[in-house]
Structure 1
Amino acid sequence: MNSAKPTVFVVDDDGAICQSLCLLIQDIGLDVRTFDGARPFLDHYDPSQPGCLVLDVRMSGMSGIELQARLNELSIDIPTIIITGHGDVPMAVETMKAGAVDFIEKPFRDQVLLDSVQRAVEMDRRIRATKEHTRGFQSRMEGLTRRECQVMDLLVLGKPSKAIAYELQISQKTVDFHRTNILNKAGVSSVVELVRLAHAARSTWGNAGLAQ
């Protein structure tokens, strides 16, 4: 996992606001990069860099909402804080549905933004840690045999050994043998933990990301 210091990316076509936000956020010890529009941000942003995005809605060229949509298309889930001087309820709803973690109207108190930035940075840290954990699980699952994959899929659905044996037309003893191998390969001690990791992996990477 990228252990680089988090960076707050500020995207606003008002240079004075960019500078003001940069100085404010740097005061709490975070790195800041500013961009005067959505397209320059897209051209330079590296998704492996931890941090969050502070984004103005109304900008020339690509709007903040359009940038959100583009990030979603690219499957980039950087925590995003929307700031705007022209906020209304429908706009807030639209940005939150698109994945924004906060919606702040200008003018705002400095501490309101700083608290939101710190929450967003922590959210990004948790997201990246979860992805790293599930990536390791995914890698271990690539070592399963075809039969073990079949047994695991049914275990994840909550089916008991007896039902799995019946569905796969094998003995319950064989199911138990495969279950033990699956747990060992997954590096977990219980089916409950296996189910939790499997669901987390599928949520993060999709079904195609797991051994089938």
Structure 2
Amino acid sequence: MSVELPVYIIDDEPEVCRSLALLMAAGGIPARSFGNADLFLDLVHHLAPGIVICDVVMPGTSGIELLQSMRSNGRQDPVILIAGHADIPIAVAAMQAGATNFLEKPFDPDVIIDAVALARQSLNRASVNDSLADRLSPRERQVLELVIGGATSKEAARHLGISPRTVETYRTKLLEKTGARSTAHLVKIGLEAGLGSERHSNVGSA
């Protein structure tokens, strides 16, 4: 049975913290509340990775500033920002800062539970993607980069100085390692893992 990621609730309204903590507890999700962002930031290095639900407007450090501080210090926990009086500029600023979701108070309990579930999925997916490059051999990574760049097996073979059949063998291994259902799915997985930044559209003309 998988262990639920903790949820960290940050809001200067005690009633919001209490209601969200009770909601998480009802779903079997461990939760911890903080009255402001500065308290959370003081302890974040000692906290296990989790999902953060944080009010945007609070005394002291704002929700967006908290998110920016976490990212600058290497914390990639998904952050759901909430606001009592949201407007389009605040919502845009939240998403640009890297918020996983942005919700306006008052929200339906199912909405926040769904947001937490989506945040958990994004964290799990990021964990898998981050480890992909480490699981590939240098040659497998080269082949994947070329596949992402749109190279055919013949073009990739010419670029790497190997036979097209060998490229196909590597492609098959990549499908097995990544669990991809097709080449298109393989490309999607590679892109999500941050591979393929260099396009190889001209490999055939080399």
Q: Do both proteins adopt the same fold according to a TM-score greater than 0.5, normalized to the shorter chain?
A: yes
In structure 2, stretches of 5+ residues that fail to align are 198-206
Distance 1:55 1:125, change over 3 A: closer
Q: Secondary structure at the match of 1:183?
A: helix
Map 1:117-136; keep pairs closer than 5 Å. Answer: 117-136=112-131
Q: Percent identity?
A: 29
- The alpha carbon displacement at 1:16 in A equals 4.2
TM-score (normalised: structure 1): 0.72
- The alpha carbon displacement at 1:193 in A equals 4.0
Residue 155, structure 1, aligned to residue 154, structure 2 = no
Look up the match of 2:187: 195
Alignment check: 8 A CA contact 1:54 1:81 kept: yes
Distance 1:159 1:126, change over 3 A: same
Distance 1:71 1:144, change over 3 A: same
Number of positions where the alignment pairs a residue of Structure 1 with one of Structure 2: 191
Separation in 2, partners of 1:129, 1:113: 25
Look up the match of 2:202: none
Look up the match of 2:201: none
Look up the match of 1:76: 76
Compare 90-99 and 118-127 and name the one that shifted more. 90-99
Separation in 2, partners of 1:64, 1:48: 19
Q: Secondary structure at the match of 2:138?
A: coil
Alignment check: 8 A CA contact 1:137 1:186 kept: no
In structure 1, stretches of 5+ residues that fail to align are 208-212
- The alpha carbon displacement at 1:48 in A equals 4.7
Separation in 2, partners of 1:116, 1:99: 19
- The alpha carbon displacement at 1:24 in A equals 4.4
For the aligned residue pairs, the C-alpha RMSD in angstroms reads 3.1
- The alpha carbon displacement at 1:80 in A equals 0.7
